Amino acid sequence: MQIAVFTKSTTYHKGHGGLETQNKLLCEGLAARGHRIVVFSPTRDQPLQNVTENGVDYIFVKSSYRYFLSSFNKNSWYNQSYKVFEKANSDSKFDLILGQSSAAIGIIARKELHSIPVVSVSHGTTLGELKTQITNIRNVKDALKVLKDGQYVLRQYFGRQRDFILKSTHVVAVSTAVKKNLVDETFIPEENITVINNGINPTPFIKVREGRNLRGKGVLFVGQLTKDKGIDLLLKMFGSDDFKDISLYIVGDGPLKEFINEQISHMPNGFKIKLLGKIPYQDVVNYYLNEEISVFAFPTKREEGLPMVLVEAMFAGLPVVAFDKGGVTDIVKNSETGYVLKPNDDIGFKHKLVNLVNDPEILSKFSSNALKNAYSSLSLDAMIEKYEDVFKKVMKK
């Protein structure tokens, strides 16, 4: 199958994150199974035009990635992406188009000209992102920014989001929560959406494949140091006597880093809190596998489509304590691989975290369940097989 993939950014671009890495894994996995994959992306801040890596062809398109009135701007991604795609399609016909979020909007809008089925992947929704921005408000400046961004949110809600969701042949949602939000916000029929959780290559975690001993009294947090990630709540918890014998390892960077450092310096047990900053991925993996760490804390207040750190925690055999936000329950099974608390139940979160760290029997049970769940449903191979099933279904229509 020849597949054209559209994404607004790649791992070649500066500041790339989880979405770009996930797209790379998906494309390379599909290429390894014999599919021809061509990725189209705006040139932006990287100097390349065309490149091939691990069997995947990349075509970078000189364009402006702005949606407002983009159909009237000949240099917009909306227009240029289709122009370049049309040329590539005339040279070698594509069987399918895969769009990450709304990146294939220019091709979707002209589907009557090419008649190629389009599968779009949704990682979240417009209102979900707005809720996150509101959660992050810390001062008047933040509140004004949310008001200013309101017009953009409205354009997205009534414009681009509905355009790419409702006009795609089929939609993949990365979690059950994203699917529900899409149905609520766009009224797309449920049968037009398939939930496929993002998977990872388990190789970095293979040393604990058969199980691990959780003897240490350490808690791991991996994520951006922002209010919506709940790091301030975690610090508040560790300031109490209940956590005097428990260590906290914080991996990540962000605007609250200085605030966290200051808080730690004034805490009686601050010496047990390790602020590690942003570190290479292999070092992050080493902390997942660290014998001193027995629980992964995920106190986020944000609506995340599918938090990949939870997938990594499962492959590391780490039980999780989290709030029921976004795609958390697709990964963490309450009372099986960890505990899932109602949003804003801070007291319940604290109690579950303390009790879990101090309960070797439950830790062992949850760890074993986490590993079984990870290898049965969260591997990269499992994810790619599910995408291929969707592609076959769409091609038969």
pLDDT by residue (tens digit) across 70-92? 666 888 999 999 999 999 999 99
- Give CA–CA dist 205/281, Å, rounded: 12
- Give CA–CA dist 209/215, Å, rounded: 17
Please tell me the predicted confidence (pLDDT) of residue 269. Answer: 84
- Give CA–CA dist 107/363, Å, rounded: 49
Please tell me the predicted confidence (pLDDT) of residue 246. Answer: 96
Domain count, the chain: 2
- The DSSP code for 211 is -
Do 318 and 194 lie in one domain? The reply is: no
Do 79 and 97 lie in one domain? The reply is: yes
- Give CA–CA dist 119/127, Å, rounded: 22
Do 42 and 178 lie in one domain? The reply is: yes
- Give CA–CA dist 364/381, Å, rounded: 27
Whether the per-residue pLDDT at 135 is higher than 60: the answer is no
pLDDT tier for residue 227 given thresholds of 50, 70 and 90: confident
- Give CA–CA dist 242/230, Å, rounded: 19
**Residues forming beta bridges with residue 249, ordered by sequence position:** 220, 274
Parallel/antiparallel/unpaired status of strands 56-61 and 50-53: antiparallel
Please tell me the predicted confidence (pLDDT) of residue 372. Answer: 97
Please tell me the predicted confidence (pLDDT) of residue 68. Answer: 58
Please tell me the predicted confidence (pLDDT) of residue 137. Answer: 52
Q: pLDDT tens digits for 94-114?
A: 999 999 999 999 999 998 899
Whether the per-residue pLDDT at 349 is higher than 80: the answer is yes
The single residue listed with the structure tokens 């190629």 is 116
- Least confident interval from 93-107, 131-145, 193-207, 382-396: 131-145
Do 257 and 186 lie in one domain? The reply is: no
Please tell me the predicted confidence (pLDDT) of residue 216. Answer: 94
Please tell me the predicted confidence (pLDDT) of residue 141. Answer: 65
As a three-state string, the secondary structure of 120-186 is EEECCCHHHHHHHHHHCCCCHHHHHHHHHHHHHHHHHHHHHHHHHHHHCCEEEECCHHHHHHHHHHH
Do 273 and 309 lie in one domain? The reply is: yes
- For the record, the structure tokens of 250 come out as 């914080």
Please tell me the predicted confidence (pLDDT) of residue 299. Answer: 96
Do 317 and 369 lie in one domain? The reply is: yes
pLDDT tier for residue 133 given thresholds of 50, 70 and 90: low
- Give CA–CA dist 205/374, Å, rounded: 11
Please tell me the predicted confidence (pLDDT) of residue 138. Answer: 55
Cβ proximity of 62 and 79 under 8 Å? no
Do 170 and 266 lie in one domain? The reply is: no
* 48 against 261, higher pLDDT: 261
Whether the per-residue pLDDT at 124 is higher than 80: the answer is yes
pTM summary value: 0.87
Do 132 and 268 lie in one domain? The reply is: no
- Give CA–CA dist 269/82, Å, rounded: 58
**Residues forming beta bridges with residue 273, ordered by sequence position:** 248
Do 178 and 226 lie in one domain? The reply is: no
Q: Output the furthest CA–CA distance in the chain (Å, rounded).
A: 68
pLDDT tier for residue 24 given thresholds of 50, 70 and 90: very high
Do 45 and 171 lie in one domain? The reply is: yes
Do 372 and 279 lie in one domain? The reply is: yes
What three-state secondary structure class fits 228?
A: helix
Q: pLDDT tens digits for 356-387?
A: 999 999 999 999 999 999 999 999 999 999 99
Mean predicted lDDT score pLDDT of the chain: 90
What three-state secondary structure class fits 306?
A: coil
Whether the per-residue pLDDT at 147 is higher than 70: the answer is no
Do 265 and 174 lie in one domain? The reply is: no
Sheet arrangement for strand 293-298: 273-277, 247-251, 218-222, 293-298, 320-323, 338-341
Please tell me the predicted confidence (pLDDT) of residue 209. Answer: 96
The average pLDDT across 302-328 equals 95
Please tell me the predicted confidence (pLDDT) of residue 157. Answer: 47
- Give CA–CA dist 161/183, Å, rounded: 12
Whether the per-residue pLDDT at 154 is higher than 60: the answer is no
The single residue listed with the structure tokens 């190789």 is 203
Domain housing 348: 203-377
- Percentage of residues of the chain with pLDDT beyond 70: 89
* 345 against 49, higher pLDDT: 345
Q: What is the CATH number of the domain that holds 169?
A: 3.40.50.2000
